[in-house]
Chain A
């Protein structure tokens, strides 16, 4: 069934979009990522103009994250306090990131820099996670106890706060810094930052994997909600018909993803996330290295 999208001005197959939204929604519920990094190229592929794809997807992510957060709230696996601290950091970071991005753009050739950073960054994160979770899985099989969390310099910092759901009693400074850093990266790279945030929470803040997913989704709602409003009022590129088609699949997928996630062990979840991050990294590297079949790209004026 073909549906004509009023803002994108293209006709698309409704069932294809429902399926697409559903698949990305499952990932969202499982791993606490928005899924924009997957959705954007897929939407480009079916002929949605890039500016509309990016803006509309933000709107769809609001829906699937909200659906996922509600599911996680029922399981009490959302650390609202931690989420709020990360969000504050994230908003500050996003503002800094936009300024940094404009500065880099004035220097020229920012595209290349961003893509290279992205590939390197994802490669390192994905690789480290993969090795770590593989070791954890192996240790568990052979019956070794996981190493106890060590106290380090982080625990010496002031402004301590109790994060009950995560079982942490740490200073607010590290979560704020993580929030700012992810915000900066997200603004520069033009993604929500879910799959940078998730590993950062697990490894830098030492949060339990199960809590990380819900908490990440919680802060993604606000970031993408803000993005949606920004695009709708400045670029007029949010296509609500496209968003509805995607989010019907997305909200159901997020519920399914949460159920799947709760059945998996933390190590298994981490290893799957690592594989996904590596796959995205591989795809980006592939695009950069392989000779494209068409050297020219037609785009509307404006936008990057």
Chain B
């Protein structure tokens, strides 16, 4: 029954004029001990039944996001001549990583309304509601997190970095830094014409710790007492080892 329904849906789905067929150089990232960032090649083609529409030109936006986290942003201010944290705003959800690549300058590829609808640009990807009433300028806190994360390359906007050939083939490379958080990284591709989204496609890149990293992380969460004792045992053993080695060296 359910299968039938699905089939019906599939058949009755209106055939879209232009659709994305996507490929990834890798659909998962394994974080091992010597992980030092990763570059993911995202490529694809535009599938269409009809001829290429004339105007306006086709544009592509690719957005890769890390898992959402809630973060606290604190602001320092001068009180009695001393700099102290005075205000704090909790941002409900900010992706740990966010990279956008477009095929043309930002304001040529998408309109503000469409950006708002699909939450594509960096400020739109951050959700902050309910800042405390006594905070004078809540927007400045969101701006701050974007500024700080852009400077350490956690947030990236690469305009005109998607290669688009014959309005059909496109590709880009997204550099993921070494400081990656584990989780599913939703990857979205939008096709736009004249600032309007004409088609979108969504997939996920799976970022996982493997091997020793996986083992230690799991141990620390599931057997914290054992993990703590192990850490202490390593510390004591190392301290004793260094002492014994020095005695042997000097004697």
Residues of A near any B CB (own CB < 8 A): 1-4, 6-7, 9-11, 47, 59-60, 62-71, 74, 109, 111-112, 115-116, 225, 228-229, 231-233, 236, 238, 240-241, 243-244, 247-248, 251-252, 254-255, 287-292, 294-301
Query: B246: which A residues are within 8 A, CB to CB?
Result: 71, 255
Query: A229: which B residues are within 8 A, CB to CB?
Result: 225, 228-229, 232
CB of A47 within 8 A of CB of B239, answer no
Range, interface on chain B? 35 or more
- State A63–B240 Cα separation when bound (angstroms): 8
**Are A297 and B31 also in contact (CB < 8 A) when A63-B239, A233-B225 are?**
no
Contact with A along B80-107 (1 / 0, CB 8 A): 0111110000100000000000000000
- State A229–B225 Cα separation when bound (angstroms): 7
- State A197–B82 Cα separation when bound (angstroms): 28
Query: B72: which A residues are within 8 A, CB to CB?
Result: 298-301
Which of A6, A59, A63, A74 has a CB less than 8 Å from the CB of B217? A6
Query: B220: which A residues are within 8 A, CB to CB?
Result: 6-7, 232, 236, 238, 240
Interface of A, secondary structure class, is: helix
**Are A296 and B235 also in contact (CB < 8 A) when A11-B35, A71-B246 are?**
no
Q: Which residue of chain B has its CB nearest to the CB of A295?
A: B76
CB of A287 within 8 A of CB of B236, answer no
**27 A-B residue pairs with CB within 8 Å:** A2-B36, A2-B178, A4-B32, A4-B33, A4-B213, A6-B213, A59-B232, A62-B236, A63-B238, A69-B239, A225-B232, A225-B235, A229-B228, A229-B229, A236-B224, A240-B216, A241-B216, A251-B239, A288-B82, A289-B81, A289-B82, A296-B74, A296-B148, A298-B72, A298-B148, A300-B69, A301-B72
CB of A298 within 8 A of CB of B149, answer yes
Q: Which residues 194-251 of B have a CB within 8 angstroms of A?
A: 209, 212-214, 216-217, 220-221, 224-225, 227-232, 234-236, 238-243, 246-247
CB distance from B108 to the nearest CB of A (A): 31
In addition to A4-B213, A62-B239, A63-B234, 18 A-B residue pairs with Cβ atoms within 8 Å of each other are A6-B213, A7-B216, A11-B35, A11-B179, A65-B239, A70-B243, A112-B79, A232-B220, A236-B224, A238-B228, A240-B220, A241-B216, A251-B242, A255-B242, A291-B83, A296-B145, A299-B72, A301-B71
Which of B36, B73, B85, B240 has a CB less than 8 Å from the CB of A111? B85
**Are A243 and B76 also in contact (CB < 8 A) when A9-B179, A64-B239 are?**
no
CB distance from B154 to the nearest CB of A (A): 10
CB of B241 within 8 A of CB of A232, answer no
Query: A289: which B residues are within 8 A, CB to CB?
Result: 81-83
Query: B37: which A residues are within 8 A, CB to CB?
Result: 11
Query: A1: which B residues are within 8 A, CB to CB?
Result: 34
B118 interface residue per 8 A CB criterion: no
